[in-house]
Amino acid sequence: MPLTEEQQREIAEGAAAQRPTRRPTVAALEDILHAALPVLDHGFLRVIDYMGDDGAIVQAARVSYGRGTRRVSEDAGLIRYLMRHRHTTPFEMCEIKFHVKLPIFVARQWIRHRMASVNEISARYSVLDREFYLPAPQHLAAQSELNRQGRGRSLEGQEAAEVLALLRQDAERNYRHYQDMLNEDEAGQRRDPARAGLARELARMNLTLNVYTQWYWKTDLHNLFHFLSLRADAHAQYEIRAYAEVMLDVVKRWVPLAHAAFADYRLGGVSLSAGGLAVVRRLLAGEAVTPADSGLSMREWRELMAVLGRVKEPG
């Protein structure tokens, strides 16, 4: 996880700076502000700035209730009520900005979450670093036979070694060709003074998707929770889940009451369809329900049974 000298200087300056403020701050989050939290082999996540705390969520919710109801509920109970009943606007009062270093293929998944402000390093302007993600052996797996976008059995032994060798060789070869086309070395100096080199915006198309990129990503807490509900889930791709898990720890530091409610009602909870709820009620009444008379598709049936702990959900 090497940081550039400029990034190291920025972190040092941020840690040393003392800025008196009347705004609410969160000590646990201040402790890691600007620090590079490692993710994967060369990636990191940094909290650059934030606005609001648990109190901001409560404040926004109670302003619509009027003065007479300010003491009806404790903060934790109110936040849990908001989460439970999907009152999302109060959570939008909190915002956070991250600096993230991540493989390009992870970034292309991440960018599908559109309710954020994003600014990514431009390979038209800058030469990307010679850093690429190589999975640890335990994260190499075959294509799932049941899930078209998931992993199945783990690769082992010689098979895993051959895949890792191909990933490394292709990434290194393509990066060398990238430098050759640019006619630049890693210091940005022209290799052959007699040759101009290919434009950066064209040379970049030869890079592999495991090369690292960087961006600043700013979002509000409501949309961050939506991101985490999908990407911190056990079914999410491991590489983006690794970032989501670090972000979960950041959220726990930042808004512990909201984090607890989110963990309870979203990460640890389930949502049932009307048909699924009807099946549960029939089961509670002692009725023997089969897939054929459940009114559910086989996929819905398997998912419901997995939620109820009756069968293991397929990977």
Catalytic machinery residues: 231
Q: Which residues contact 58 (CB under 8 A, 6 or more apart)?
A: 75, 78, 79, 90
CA distance 307 to 275: 14
Q: β-strands 212-220, 37-39: how paired? A: unpaired
* Two structure tokens written together for 168: 């490394």
**Stretch (H or E) spanning 153:** strand 151-154
Sign of the four-CA dihedral 98, 113, 259, 304: negative
Q: Where are the alpha helices (DSSP H) in 183-255?
A: 200-203, 221-231, 238-254
Strand partners, 119: 216
Rg of the chain in Å (alpha carbons): 24
Angle, in degrees to the nearest 10, between helices 54-63 and 75-84: 70
Residue of 91, 95, 73, 79 lying closest to 265 (CA atoms): 79
Residue with tokens 């294509």: 143
Q: Using CA atoms, how far apart are residues 236 and 92, in angstroms rounded to an integer?
A: 24
SS3 118: strand
